[in-house]
Amino acid sequence: MNPLELFHFLTNLLRNEAEVIASFFVGVAITLVGAYTLRRWVLPQRDSDTELAKKDVEIHRKDAEIARKDAENAALARKLEAEERQAAELANSIETTRKKHLREKKQLREDIEQLNKQVQESGQNHTEMSSGAEALRAELEAARKALDLYKRKATTVVVSYKKQLAVQTDHVKAIEALEGRIWEAPPRAGATPFQPLEDRQAPIIAVTNLKGGVGMTSLTANLAAVFGQQGKKVLVVDLDHQASLTNLCLPLERIKDLARGDGKLLSNVFKARGDFARVAWNNLTHLDDAGSCLLAASEELADVEEHAKAQWLIQPDAFDMRYLLRSALHDPLIQNRFDMVLLDCPPRWTPASINALAACDFVLIPVLLDRTSAEAVPRLLAWLHSLKAKQVCAEMSILGVVGNRAWRKDKLSTRERGVWKTLRDNCADAWQGPVHLFERFVPTNARFADAADERTFAALDVTLYPIFEELIAEIEQRRAQHDESRGVATVS
């Protein structure tokens, strides 16, 4: 196609398709305008939002950094304030020290001046000092000799203390070896020896049972009352800090009198450091005009006993506390003034009860005729046998077991006879030898409770007196058998 033909073609096309072509170019123009608008306004806006978000993050980061810097600056400010305060304090301290040094310097100058004066005075006294130098040398030599002597004495004392420490250590080991059975420790050297009954006037009977509530105190008090009615001078000793025997034997007014001051009490005997018989005699309370007396007890006895036991345990060379009562009651001062001594023991092992066993000639064991009370007697006898075997109370003998508070007056009930029969065999096994069971028993009687309230003795009642007479007659018979066999008990 030549150019002329092309021109005519285009001219015809424009004439015939002018609307189509116009629409085409309009579309193209609109497309170009839209593309331009999109490129010029929409896309840059999205890029701007992204950029703004990045700037916000950066701003937050810078804000955080500024806050951190502010915190650090605040901390530095506080630290600076603290250091400024320290600096101020240091400045004050330096100023104080400076003033102190100025005072000391001034004082030093004054001291130097004083020393100069003293030197001048010393120079004047030089001649006199020279003449006394020989005397000083002589005194120094004497002091050296005295020091040597002191060193030798100190060495001797140290050696002595070491020996005492070794003895104390051995003593502690011996106590540990007893595993709590401290009362079975062998008697210490120098313990008060036991005076045989044939060399004394008044037999000593300890009424004891480790089971409480079996009537030990009542039996002791009423036996003493009947012995007194028979013309004997009786000494009764209350060995229990509960003071039941004291309350039974004395009216309330006299008990209050005993409590005043140091009081006439058994605890004073345990506090003593010697002359125990004299202390005991001075603390007796008269019960009647015939000469019977009471060595009373109070609650103080518990503390005094513990103190005495502690001293005995920690001082191996001290007086053996278990024989304190023996020392008092075996003394002629007591023996020659009484015909009978009755000891009311507490229902437990205490220093006082051990003292009673170590001092007594006989042990009398009251028991209720029921299974529970009867079971306690063999245990007591086994412990007594152990103490006797360990030589703590080697001379002690069992006077016997007496039934107390029986159901009837004339004879035992079937149940009581069964308990009594079983008790005989069990006691023999525990004591490893025959034990006397008293034929005469003490029946239950309302007079015992009434007499306790009235602070009198039920045994003096017309219905009970013959029973206690029979019991005392059997006790005297047992004592006679003991004298004949020289301490070997026999079964009646």
Check residue 379 and give its pLDDT: 95
- Spell out the alpha helix ranges (H) of 178-289: 216-229, 244-249, 252-259, 267-271, 276-282
User: How many residues are listed for the chain in this entry?
Assistant: 492
User: Beta strands of 107-214 (E only): which ranges?
Assistant: 204-207
Q: Are strands 442-443 and 397-406 parallel, antiparallel or unpaired?
A: parallel
Q: What is the pLDDT of residue 179?
A: 45
Contact 281, 223 (CB under 8 A): no
The C-alpha atoms of residue 150 and residue 190 are separated, in whole angstroms, by 34
- Cα–Cα distance measured from residue 82 to residue 74, given in angstroms and rounded to the nearest whole number: 12
Token reading at 38: 């999109």
- Going from N- to C-terminal start, the domains of the chain cover 198-485
- What whole-number distance in Å separates Cα of residue 238 and Cα of residue 221? 10
Ramachandran bin of 21, using left for φ above 0, alpha for ψ from -120 to 50, beta for the remaining angles: alpha
Note the pLDDT of residue 36: 78
Report phi then psi at 235, rounded to 5. Answer: -110, 120
CB hemisphere CA count around 320 (13 angstroms): 22
Q: CA-to-CA distance for 278 and 272, rounded, in angstroms?
A: 10
State the pLDDT at residue 180: 53
CA 13 – CA 151 distance, rounded (Å): 149
Could you say which DSSP state residue 406 is in?
E
For 198-485, which CATH class? alpha beta
Instruction: Give the pLDDT of residue 42.
Output: 59
What integer pLDDT is reported at residue 261 of this predicted model? 63
Instruction: Write the Ramachandran bin of 288: left for phi over 0, alpha for psi from -120 to 50, otherwise beta.
Output: beta
Q: What is the pLDDT along the chain (492 residues), one digit of tens a residue?
A: 676 777 777 677 667 666 666 677 777 788 887 777 777 765 666 667 788 888 888 888 888 888 888 888 888 888 888 888 888 888 888 888 888 888 888 888 888 888 778 777 766 766 666 667 777 788 878 888 887 787 787 677 666 655 654 555 555 555 544 445 788 888 887 889 999 999 999 999 999 999 999 999 999 999 999 999 999 999 999 999 999 999 999 988 888 888 776 678 999 999 998 899 999 999 999 998 889 999 999 999 999 999 999 888 887 667 889 999 999 999 999 999 999 999 999 999 999 999 999 999 999 999 999 999 999 999 999 999 999 999 999 999 999 999 999 888 888 899 999 999 999 999 999 999 999 999 999 998 888 888 888 888 999 999 999 999 999 999 999 998 887 775 444 333
pTM as predicted: 0.65
**Residue 328's closest CA among 415, 270, 390, 263?**
270
CA distance 306 to 392: 19
Angstrom distance (rounded) from CA 374 to CA 400: 13
